Structure 1
């Protein structure tokens, strides 16, 4: 995924040569302004996403590890979602320096490792969101049929399958990515003769990373919402709104980036007419939409964990131990243990709360 953006986006060469059919060369396109913008914009956004993503997902991991004795299938999915997002953001400081310097200084091994972690974290995060969506659908729409199958053993098996699938999809990036000299700098990405793997990477990013997950969310949540609406729960309207937010955020954060990646790929294969203005616009769009898409990992802890009262109580207790007492003199009433009561409907399953539905 990053191999396309890093080679065609902020760290592209300043001049691209275009040729006519008879070999006559057009005047090169000067994308210096786009590159200069990327050398400031991308490091800033990467650093911000790294800080917020590291804190948010790290806090989720700390809370779930602390309460590991109370772990259920939903908590296991939340843990692995946060872990995948953490792997993803750990690659961003390297890409931040790469975007700022337009030169990869960390060596070939780091190039492969960082690219592999980046890809593994990306697909792991997407796949675990899909698993959580399917799990919510099964629990809410087919509650009695799946209740006995939602065990920790099942969770371990599903987790192993998801990480194995993520590793298989990321393996070409881990194996083939390498450093190579490009004009006066060193770049990190697929080698110039790896066209088929760039096509595979684009296919995986668009189909496995956007189309299939979005379809799963739309189908599952469209079946979940009528069931929630029919429940006699005061929380149902809030939960329905959050479901709409989940799908909308995923769509609006990732779709523009995937579209610009596709346009860049078509342009590189001369499927689109080569034009300097279009070339600059596509490169600029990749930088902006990439920053928006990457920031989605900062929202995952908020969407999937912090919206629930149960999880927030755990967070507040942990923060009370870490920070001075005057910052948290006492837990808010709605977060206190005595005020937390499940309704007769949601008591059928610990999952049918705002925390576990999402």
Structure 2
């Protein structure tokens, strides 16, 4: 963080009468930061949609971080978690309320990644750090202010891992995946939210990685908006049209992969296609152990929550965040993805 950034946060903390250290101890009476803080610590968490399984897992880990902080400091930390209901205007109003009520920091799982500039400008005006997570704003918006950050994973990496899981299964036993024996893998693609960077990159890189070594043919693709029910409906249509021609199902997240499994079961299929997802949610891990989901990619919900708290801790202390977290380009904390299959689960 540059000198201007440090002074910005020093002024912010002084204005509110103290500083908050999350995940460790409360910083009180810092030099130049004003008088000791007597009010509870308040963190606003604005979600794009709370019924998303992965996002709910992140929230659970944030709550665990908050409770651990309370035990260590004997202070009250309030996480005000709001559900945007997939409406950017609703989420804007929620962030406005956090700022109006002088919250210490705001974490935003943004509805529309192209709408971050408005929120960043408001946070800058209030001198409140804003941390976006899991849904990445465009870089130009993050560059507007040094107090705006992003915590998440590189979407292209998850696609690469998905494609590699399928390619490795082909190499190990082609007949187990290529059920019709034509030397080509026929696949369908369940896509997330249209225009979302995770949708675009996971879709592109999963197929590109597979086709580097394995002949493949797309039968169908459609959006299911990260949703299990929508994915089940799409998969049901494809089963009626293609039946057992479907050899592989790529799903941009686990909820949609589970929806594909639901559809296959409802259709009475005795042998399911090779289905892969992303996120490694608890229901997905259960499906891997059951053998219905062949692979997923760990999107580290626990690590994401820890990184957000570590970032706020460094900012509150007036420190250079790059000294406490792996901060790239002044704004980004990148979480690594990891391959998850029945074999990796068994080895842990």
Q: What TM-score do you get using the length of structure 2 for normalisation?
A: 0.25
Could you say which structure has the higher strand fraction?
2
Could you say which structure has the higher helix fraction?
1
Structure having greater relative contact order (Cα 8 Å, sep ≥ 6): 1
